[in-house]
Structure 1
């Protein structure tokens, strides 16, 4: 005989009830200490979470500061390298200019030496006579007559004056000519050196004037305002 639909449908319900009864929890036991700690520890756990969040934020700020310092160091290193590169290029250009000026000075000094060797042949006869009378270098003899009517012995007297130079004195022009140095360009060389030093200081950043720090504005507290008002009233 076939089973009716009602019995078939209610069979699943009975099976579920039997299975539920087989896996049923017989007793639930609570730990009183854990239960009290959970129910009364909301504020404590909140403070712990807040402390952990602060520690995390401090660690992130520290890492950010380290990264910022590293970035600043890298930028400064790149700036110094760039300035050194510019300085080297400027020094190379200056060295090439100095070489050209030295070559031109040497050529000019050679021309002057050639002209100087031919100077002795064009001297006048009077100069040769004066040098012959002098006898030694550095001595110049001059002769002139003096007629003094008020003198105790009447007549004409001859006076001879000898100008003696310092034998240890150094002739700078002669020394510069021997060393092929043009003293007329000394001022120009000095100006070039000063300009080069200024460029180096500008590239390195030594000519930058320190900026003045602005004074921080701070509001007075209540206590400070009271003290200030009392002082003003006493005046």
Structure 2
């Protein structure tokens, strides 16, 4: 018996060790938050919508970045094309006019090397040259045309038949006289008497509105007759739908049977 008990103890040591370990590292108590538990159990649809919205935002951001990258590539391609065209243009210009480029280089070199006239040779001619320059400047100022923006215009209104006195104006001022003109159309209509003209032609002005309405009606009817416009027919009132009574249905069935 001692051997059996000892073997049993040896075989159950692993189980005892597992039990002691569970007691040592096990969870003492489980507590649940009711609000968070309820949110988790009732928020499946809400979380699904949030995931869809987040996925849509990511897709929109990726599309925006793709558009930016595409525009950047287009700008680079245009820049390269412009540089290539400019280079080919410059090469063709050099091939066509090789002397012009050399002359431009020599001209720029001459401008850098020139340092003006020597003081020893031209010392005696300084005063006459200055006098000539002053005379040339005065002549240029006298022959220079006057600017249009500095011109002043003075307007004077005058009635027909009146004369505007001539005043001594400056050279820069321009006097313009504006006269009112009578319109012959308005002058004729002002003298025209409508009532006298109507009485002379046997026209009654009190019935003008009736005559106008009749003429409009005749014009509309003639347009409908020619097919220019569609005839305006009065709209018929639609009968209100109602269910037949039992007696009416019976009468209808009897009539249908008689027809057969």
When normalised by structure 2's length, the TM-score is 0.34
* Greater RCO (Cα-Cα under 8 Å, separation 6 or more): 1
When normalised by structure 1's length, the TM-score is 0.38
